[in-house]
Amino acid sequence: MDASHDTLRATFWKPALTAGKGPRYLRLASFIEQAVADGRLRPGDRLPAQRELASWLGIDFTTVTRAYNRARERNAIEGRGPLGTFVSTPRVTFEQVLDLGMNIPPAPADLFLGELLQQGIDEVLKHTDASMLMAYQLGDGGIADRQAGALWLAPMLGELDASQVCVCPGAQATLAALLLTETSRDETVLCEPIVYPGLRSAARTLERKLVAVPTDHDGMLPDALSAAVREHGARVVYLNPTLQNPTTRTMPETRRRQLLDVAETLNLTIIEDDPYWRLAHRAPPPLARLAPHRVHYIATLSKCLTPGLRTAYLRLADIRRRDLFLSTLNAFALMAPPLMTGLATQWIHNGMADRILAGVRSAAAQRQAIAADVLGEPGAAPEQGIHLWQSLPAPWTARELTMAARAEGLAVTPADAFCLSPEAPNAIRISLGGVRDPERLGSALRRLKTLLGEAPPSIHAAVV
């Protein structure tokens, strides 16, 4: 091989460490995969010897060895003994990022949602004028839709009349409309320090102030709530008390009753965002069941059935505020999508929703068991629900881990996405429903476990 050709090969590899983030061996492995994906490296191409590549890049031999091993694990390259290392043949099909960041329910193993969707829509069309499904439908849903909502809410709130239920276009729109209905611009809303990001987004957009109330392992502290109300003049409290997003904590009934006592004494309104109650085992009664006149209750189908069902049910604390709420909601979300609402109604009335829910709960339990086996302490009991709150070992920080995981093809969510204070805990949320099958989830979690056992890339490392 002549010197000019060798120089060209070295030039090809020079950008390998300048793109992306994370440890150098991961950047080099990602460079190899990307070069194969876009055709710069072709099946059968011979890679440089490890010592040769280390010399070209000015890095140590071990870094190249780890990069080659990682690329080999992903089937991008293959070793052929004394002949060297080659791009794999046939050409590798690269998977997308494994999503451990988006909190969605896992698909039931024994149900095929595509078939259920087709069957469900066929049934909707049999019983509904198709032109009505494509027309504007103002208000809070038809009588059958509200009856379905009452049936869905019955395990949480007890028997309801359909007139007590509003059918809404998703929990986020419902939450935003409630903030507009119950508070004024620059008014304070009280919440826990670690909170659902959708509340932060809505409050910022609508110019409401969020103030964190201190918590303990059971949730918001009653005395701290009283003090915060008196200090800030707040009238509204937001709570996500069951399998809280992101911490997975479920507030015990005793604490719920203590907070409701404070709300009664100080004339507070509570917004209870409760998407995961039906995924929990023996969950305490919702606040809205214990004090229905104090609590607006939101339950969405997208977190316990399938995210494509953008249907949420709202039970207002005071039905006299229904018209005000609906006029506010209609200002930015004119209606719940009729076809999807019709499908949700059909599934709830014919029992299919409960079948899907049972499948999701079974799939979630399986995935929690996998996560406990890979990430938990030996003998640790699996969590409930569809996500985990994972504390990180020193010296990792949540942001460093998130970036390093991304370089590994894994998406996770750092704690500061959920925190009102800059002093976020050193943790990440791991969502278990986004990876399609359990085997790939296990592989993703093992990759994350391996990463946690390594040292993070030093921010003080020399740039090569």
The pLDDT tens digits for 162-197 are 999 999 999 999 999 999 999 999 999 999 999 999
Residue 355: Cβ-neighbour burial (10 angstroms; 0-12, 13-18, 19+): middle
pLDDT score for 19: 65
**In the chain, what is the straight-line distance between the N-terminal and C-terminal CA atoms, in Å?**
26
d(CA 17, CA 28): 6
Domain ranges of the chain: 3-87, 99-105+355-461, 136-350
Which residue type sits at 165?
A: V
pLDDT score for 93: 46
Retrieve residue 159's tokens.
Answer: 């028997």
pLDDT score for 118: 82
Taking residue 51's Cβ as centre, other Cβ atoms within 10 Å add up to: 11
Taking residue 172's Cβ as centre, other Cβ atoms within 10 Å add up to: 21
291 and 241 in contact (C-beta within 8 Å)?
no
168 and 138 in contact (C-beta within 8 Å)?
no
Name the phi and psi angles at 83, rounded to 5. Answer: -75, -25
Angle 338-350/143-157 helices, nearest 10 degrees? 50
Residue 259: Cβ-neighbour burial (10 angstroms; 0-12, 13-18, 19+): buried
Retrieve residue 149's tokens.
Answer: 């909502």
Dihedral angle over CA of 436, 439, 444, 447, nearest 10 = -170
Instruction: Write out the CATH class of domain 99-105+355-461.
Output: alpha beta
Return all residues near 183 (Cβ < 8 A) that are at least 6 apart. 189, 208, 235, 236
Retrieve residue 93's tokens.
Answer: 């099909």
d(CA 359, CA 355): 6
Q: Which CATH number fits domain 136-350: 3.40.50.12170, 2.60.40.10, 3.40.640.10, 3.90.1150.10?
A: 3.40.640.10
Return all residues near 196 (Cβ < 8 A) that are at least 6 apart. 240, 245, 273, 418
d(CA 16, CA 10): 11
Retrieve residue 51's tokens.
Answer: 């010592």
For 239: left if phi > 0, alpha if psi spans -120 to 50, otherwise beta; the answer is beta
Q: CA separation (Å) from 306 to 88, 106, 284?
A: 38, 8, 24
Instruction: Write out the CATH class of domain 3-87.
Output: mainly alpha
Taking residue 144's Cβ as centre, other Cβ atoms within 10 Å add up to: 17
d(CA 239, CA 210): 12
Which parts of the chain have pLDDT scores under 70? Answer: 1-8, 19-21, 90-96, 138, 378-380, 458-464
Taking residue 267's Cβ as centre, other Cβ atoms within 10 Å add up to: 9
